[in-house]
Amino acid sequence: MCGMILLGEIGVEIYGIRDTAKPVVFWEEDVYILGTVNMEQLGLVSDPIQKRLKSVKAFLMNKN
């Protein structure tokens, strides 16, 4: 892309989990990076031992 970085939004589906309007940076062809914010919003964490993504339950925290 001649050094240009483009921003946009896409729909995401990973392991059957779908979500819409995720921010994305378009940079080089054939380079795909899933950011930590998107992983958190999809309820996924990385497992560095098994080298895969795992689904986790999300909990809302209350200050009180």
User: Is residue 49 pLDDT above 90, yes or no?
Assistant: yes
For residue 61, tell me if it sits in a domain.
Answer: no
Q: Hey, how many other C-beta atoms are within 10 angstroms of the C-beta on 39?
A: 15
51/20: higher pLDDT: 51
For residue 1, tell me if it sits in a domain.
Answer: no
* CA distances from residue 4 to 14, 24, 28, 53, 60 in whole angstroms, order as listed: 27, 14, 9, 30, 38
Spell out the residues 6+ positions from residue 53 whose beta carbon is closer than 8 angstroms to its own. 14, 15, 39, 44, 45, 46, 47
Domain holding 44, by residue range, is 6-55
For residue 64, tell me if it sits in a domain.
Answer: no
For residue 17, tell me if it sits in a domain.
Answer: yes
Q: What is the pLDDT of residue 3?
A: 65
DSSP helix/strand/coil, 37: helix
Q: What is the pLDDT of residue 48?
A: 92
- For residue 24, with 0-12 CB atoms within 10 Å meaning exposed, 13-18 middle and 19 or more buried, which class applies? middle
| Percentage of residues in the chain having pLDDT higher than 90 | 8
